[in-house]
Amino acid sequence: MIHPHNKYKEAWDILVIIATLYIAVETPLWLIFDYEQVGIIGVLAIIMPLIFLADLLVCFKTGYFSPTGKYIADTQKVAKQYLRTWFFIDALSIIPFDLIAEYYTQTYLQQLAFAEPSTFVWVLKLLALVRLLRLLHIFGIVRRWMQHDFMSPNMIRLGFVIFWLSIVAHWIACGWVALGMINPALPNFDNYLRALYWCVTTLTTIGYGDITPTTNIQIIYTMMVQMIGAAAYGYLIGNLASLLTNIDVAKANFRDKMGKVENFVRFHHVPKSIQEEIHNYYQYLWENRRGFSDSDILEELPHSLKLKIALYLNKDVIEKVPLFKHANRQLISQIALHLQPAIYLPGEYIFKAGDYGEEMYFISHGSVEVISPDEKTIMAILHEGDYFGEIALLNRSERTASVRASEFCDIYYLERKTLEKVVKQFPNFVQELKDMANKREKKI
Ligand code: CMP
């Protein structure tokens, strides 16, 4: 069984989408201009049904997710599900109606026909349009893409709207040619271009009136296209603004927040140097955390998901801190769930000697200086993967030294109550912490 998220399957889906698009564009053109499928178009006319046939077989071998989220890879269930959903459309799209129509008109088969050759050929040709239904597959594929994070969902939505508008405009233009708006003196391309021009000006409600309907059916067609145009126009204008602003929601929110902060500091005439510091802080926050504080988002999730995300988000710091190297998984999970992120600016004190200690800290990025209580000597410089603040927590005492960020620091802290829980459950781990605390205390 093939997993639907398998990367080869995804590449295959893209190939099938391209083939479907080609069919969606080419079939109506071939219907209205009735050209002979020779050269590259002839080759493609043979290849396309083969791709669709292969896709049909692939679909029989691709597992799916039930509405409850369960992955189903049972051959029989997969086949049943496929037969119930896409099989019929997919099977019809394999039949090369265009090739049959072409051979039919050219060969002796004509003599065997039970109907007038031209009527039969037209029925065959119209049946080729069934393939366009394959385009509906794209909805499912786009939904799957929106769940992946390679592009913003709003960007995909916008692309999807533009895609459908272009395809529909193409079909309407082909319909216009089919209704007789064709100048035999002009090549096919010129005729198509004029029809597309009429379609775009009508759909966008511009309608210059330089190409106008003459027969009744053309007038009815024009009215229908005008109505589609008005509806699509209203929908687009209504949604485009929100689609565009929401393309990068995180960035839009962040910009909004920065704007408010900047207005605030300007209004209160905060000195330029502090303004610059605030700006740098937000810049750092954006570049490193996309403007989000992890905990807000985690709060709403069920426990198991929260744990998975916490482990993933805190992977960096957990991997960097040697103390966690040999710790068991349960301990890591406990800690990952309770680590809180914080950012410190260059020169900022994280705490001062003599403060009462409520947290211990792990450095994810940047470095800090441990400064003696008399503020005269730098006793140590701690870097990525180091930790500090454990002495006051373990001894329930005051901070033995001051700690100051020497550059922008991404730090994770653990609160006293979490550490106390860990102390009870994992005595070995705490022994390691205590050993380090003793060593450090001796130096003081
Ligand atoms: P705490 O006393 O809670 O607050 C100050 C912290 O600085 C202390 O815990 C240790 O984690 C850390 N610290 C103190 N002395 C040293 C040292 N010599 N080398 C590295 N870190 C130290």
HEC string of 109-137 equals HHHHCCCCHHHHHHHHHHHHHHHHHHHHH
Residue 57 has pLDDT above 70, yes or no: yes
Report the pLDDT averaged over residues 335-352.
89
pTM: 0.63
Please give the pLDDT value at position 226: 94
Question: What is the whole-number distance in angstroms between the Cα of residue 351 and the centre of ligand 1?
Answer: 11
Q: Which residues of 150-159 are buried (b: 16+ CB within 10 A; e: fewer)?
A: eebbbebbbe
Quote the pLDDT of residue 114.
Answer: 57
CB 63 within 8 A of CB 72: yes
Of 60-74, 256-270, 277-291, the range with the lowest mean pLDDT is 277-291
Span 229-253, average pLDDT: 79
Residue identified by tokens 């050759």 is: 117
Q: What was the pLDDT predicted at 220?
A: 96
Query: For a substitution probing ligand 1, which of 440, 441, 443, 444 has the most ligand atoms within 8 Å of its CB?
Result: 440
Supply the pLDDT for residue 320.
87
Q: Which pLDDT score is estimated for 422? A: 80
By CB atoms closer than 10 A (0-12, 13-18, 19+), residue 46 is: exposed
Percent of the chain with pLDDT over 90: 35
Whether the CB-CB separation of 323 and 387 falls below 8 Å is answered with yes
Q: How many whole angstroms from 317 Cα to the centroid of ligand 1?
A: 19
Pocket flag, ligand 1, residue 401 (CB < 6 Å): yes
pLDDT of residue 64: 86
> What's residue 53's pLDDT?
94
Structure tokens at 202: 């009508």
